[in-house]
Chains A and B, each alone.
Chain A
Amino acid sequence: MSAANVGRDPAWPQIAFEDRIGTATFNVHHEAHIVVDGKVCADCSTRECIVACPANLFVPTSDGGILFNYEQCFECGTCYMVCNREGAITWNYPEGGHGVVFKLT
């Protein structure tokens, strides 16, 4: 950030990501609508999904893999769009009536 903001207290408390994502409503289905093939991800060095997914669902693991959780997903499609690895992400919509339910947007 800019010089003007260095050392400036943010005017609002930093919100933890769990709290941020917790403001949206998710009607979670027991079956995952997105499946990530960890074997394909293991030798991916670019890993665009980690920074781009707005729901922060792709988390690198200590053994060099990627941990993926489908539950709090916006169903936006960013991950499969930015992914450069064929077959790494299998993307579908959740079962009807499930998944994210927006209210104030």
Chain B
Amino acid sequence: MPDVDAIVVGAGPAGSCAAIVLARAGKRVVLIERGPFPGSKNMYGGVVYPRILDRLIPEWWLEAPVQRWITRRQTMIMTDTKALTIDFRSQAWGEPPYNGATAFRPDFDKWLADKAVEAGAELICSTTVTGLLHDSTGPDKRGRVSGVVTDRPDGELTASVVIACDGVNSFLAKQEGLYGELDAGNYTLGVKETLALPKETIDERFGVRGTDGVDIEIIGCSGDVNGGGFIYTNLDTIAVGLVLKLPKLAAQSKRPEELIASMKEHPAIAPLVEGGELKEYSAHLIPKAGIAMLPKLAADGLLITGDAAALCLAAGIWLEGVNFAIASGMYAGEAVVEALRNNDTSVAGLAGYQRRLESTFVLKDHRKLKRIPELVMSDRVQHLYPDLATSVVERMFRVDNPDPKPGLRRILNQERKRVGIRRRDLARDALDGLRGFS
């Protein structure tokens, strides 16, 4: 007889939501967190889209520890001296049920883990899971997953099912062989500065009031490294950072904090961030390749969720992860409840998990946008198109009297040649982009 029905490894959004579902179904569930409190190891780009929480915590917005609600969203394309910004605002996003919010993960994740505890899950912090236990029965020597080993004295715990929500480095998924050969090209490093500024200064610089907030995503600000930048407003801090493709980062000479410093000096960014006092510097890996790196999601007695399953959407204008973690954790919990009811926690018995992911946004969004992560990280999108786009716009708005205005087609052709993009590459990328997003 196993010690408990389910062990959930990692009390991030995926783990806590899996635990909420299991505990509410009356299952004995233990939620193990290696940090001193849930969220203490977690860092992210900065915006959470929590609508999926409607399913678990109705009117979550009344109590979730949020910094600001995103009502203004900018996409910025830049070169060293130019910037082209698409600026969108919606006041509807500043009212229930909201759209996106900035929040500190140590606050948000702790709040969500408290919900699991309220539901009856047992939360054990400051405990690192060091490996999976296996049943020695079964057809081969190493049988099904039967529990976990922790770094506590006598730290073995057995369960009918283990749900690994142990994040981007998921050693449990790797131990179980759910990932193939590890490819650093599938990962990016996120580095971030949290900078303190008076709330009034933030409101003024970013053009918002009250708890309305701004999310700026930037391409062309990461030096020679393929990646992207971001600026988010919290209540009285702002987050400024970069997402950097690992092999490119490792193959050049500027360190992450130097790349952030260069980005902050850009004439379009400096006025927003200057004077900000560094309150916390942080870093985390991100699984960036989408469906191309999707591991096997289950083994006998084991499911993997969230970042551990690479369920993070990095598709250019869409950068989402916490919502995918919440949903995959919730669906893993439901699938385990179903498997326990049917007394079958083999891969076949746990198939309800993959079925749920396939029929909802979790894998539908990933499959729909499968071409986008690679396209966004391509050299042309990263280095050539920002130059092309900003140069074309500069020439459109530049008044070169006594010369008459040149036609758009002529500008486009001249700039395309100057930047060095072949016509057919441009056409192919445009088509890929259209197909990829449609």
Chain B residues lying within 8 Å of A51, measured Cβ to Cβ, are: 249-250, 252-255
The answer to whether B35 touches A97, judged by C-beta atoms less than 8 angstroms apart, is yes
**With the chains together, A93 CA to B150 CA distance in Å?**
11
Q: Give Cα A78 to B42, complex, Å.
A: 15
Interface presence of B181 (CB below 8 A): no
A46: nearest chain-B partner, CB-CB: B250
Q: Quick one: CB contact mask for A51-82 with B, threshold 8 Å, 1 for yes?
A: 11011100000000000000000111110011
Q: Nearest-CB distance from A52 to chain B (Å)?
A: 5
Contact call B126/A97, Cβ cutoff below 8 A: yes
Q: Which residues of A contact B239 (CB under 8 A)?
A: 105
Beta-carbon contact of B278 and A76 below 8 Å: no
For the complex formed, measure the closest distance between the CB of A30 and the CB atoms of chain B, giving whole angstroms: 14
Partner of B282 from the list A12, A82, A105 (CB cut-off 8 Å) is A105
Chain A residues contacting B192 (CB-CB under 8 Å) are: 105
Q: Contacts A3-B81, A78-B189: A104 and B41 contacting too (C-beta < 8 A)?
A: no
Of A11, A54, A103, which contacts B189 at CB under 8 A?
Answer: A54
- For the complex formed, measure the closest distance between the CB of B113 and the CB atoms of chain A, giving whole angstroms: 15
B280 in contact with A10 (CB, 8 Å): no
With A27-B36, A76-B284, A102-B43: A20-B274 Cβ-Cβ less than 8 Å? no
Chain B hits for A102, CB < 8 A: 39-43, 105-106, 280, 282
Q: Which of B147-199 contact A (CB under 8 A)?
A: 150-152, 168-169, 171, 182, 184, 187, 189, 191-192, 194
For A15, the closest partner residue in chain B by CB is: B278
A45 at the interface (CB under 8 A from B): no
Q: Check B99 for interface membership: any CB of A closer than 8 A.
A: no
A82/B106 in contact, CB under 8 A: no
Q: Is the CB of B104 within 8 A of A103?
A: yes
Q: Does A37 contact B (CB under 8 A)?
A: no
Cα–Cα, bound, A27→B126 (Å): 11
Q: Which of A1-37 contact B (CB under 8 A)?
A: 1-5, 8, 10-12, 14-15, 17, 19-21, 23-24, 27
Checking B34, B194, B261 against A96 with a beta-carbon cut-off of 8 angstroms, the contacting residue is B34
Cα A36 to Cα B128 with chains together (Å): 21
Minimal beta-carbon separation of A89 from chain B (angstroms): 13
Question: With A54-B283, A82-B250, A95-B151 in contact, is A101–B278 under 8 Å at CB?
Answer: no
- Residue contact A12 to B276, C-beta cutoff 8 Å: yes
A residues less than 8 Å from B168 (CB atoms): 77
CA distance A5 to B171 in the complex (A): 44
From B43, B171, B255, A105 is in contact (CB under 8 Å) with: B43
* In the complex, per-residue mask of B235-270: 1 if CB is within 8 Å of any chain A CB, else 0: 001010000001101111111110001101111001
Name which residue of chain A comes closest to B168, CB basis. Answer: A77
User: What residues of chain B lie closer than 8 Å to A94, measured between beta carbons?
Assistant: 34, 128
Contacts of B276 in A (CB 8 A): 12
For the complex, what is the distance from the CA of A55 to the CA of B276, rounded to whole Å? 21
> In angstroms, how far is the closest chain A Cβ from the Cβ of B129?
9
Q: Which residue of B lies closest to A21 (CB)?
A: B281
Chain A residues with CB under 8 Å of B262's CB are: 1
Shortest A16–chain B CB gap in Å is: 11
Query: How far, in whole Å, are A103 and B150 apart by their CA atoms in the complex?
Result: 25
**Interface presence of A44 (CB below 8 A):** no
> With contacts A81-B182, A105-B192 known, is A4 near B267, CB below 8 A?
yes
B80:A4 contact, CB within 8 angstroms: yes
Give the docked Cα–Cα distance between A49 and B251 (Å).
10
Contacts of B125 in A (CB 8 A): 96-97
Give complex CA distance A97, B42 in Å.
14
Instruction: Knowing A20-B278, A54-B256, say if A97 contacts B36 (CB, 8 Å).
Output: yes
Measured CB to CB, the closest approach of chain B to A62, in angstroms, equals: 19
| Contact A54/B257 with A94-B128, A104-B280 known, Cβ cut-off 8 Å | yes
Interface status of A100 (Cβ within 8 A of chain B):
yes
Q: Are B250 and A105 in contact (CB under 8 A)?
A: no
Q: How far is the CB of B355 from chain A (nearest CB, A)?
A: 31
Q: Which residues of B contact A96 (CB under 8 A)?
A: 34, 125-128, 150-152
Q: Is B279 in the interface zone, CB < 8 Å from A? A: yes
B139 at the A/B interface (Cβ < 8 Å)? no
Q: B275 in the interface, Cβ–Cβ < 8 Å?
A: yes
Considering the complex of A and B, which 10 residue pairs feature the smallest CB-CB distances, nearest first? A97-B126, A2-B80, A48-B250, A11-B274, A54-B283, A82-B250, A96-B127, A105-B282, A104-B280, A105-B43
Given A1-B262, A82-B246, A94-B34, output 5 extra A-B contacts at Cβ < 8 Å. Answer: A5-B267, A15-B278, A82-B249, A97-B34, A102-B43
Q: List 20 A-B contacts (CB under 8 A).
A: A4-B81, A10-B261, A20-B257, A20-B278, A46-B250, A48-B250, A52-B246, A54-B255, A55-B283, A81-B187, A82-B250, A93-B128, A96-B125, A96-B127, A96-B151, A97-B125, A101-B35, A101-B36, A102-B43, A103-B280
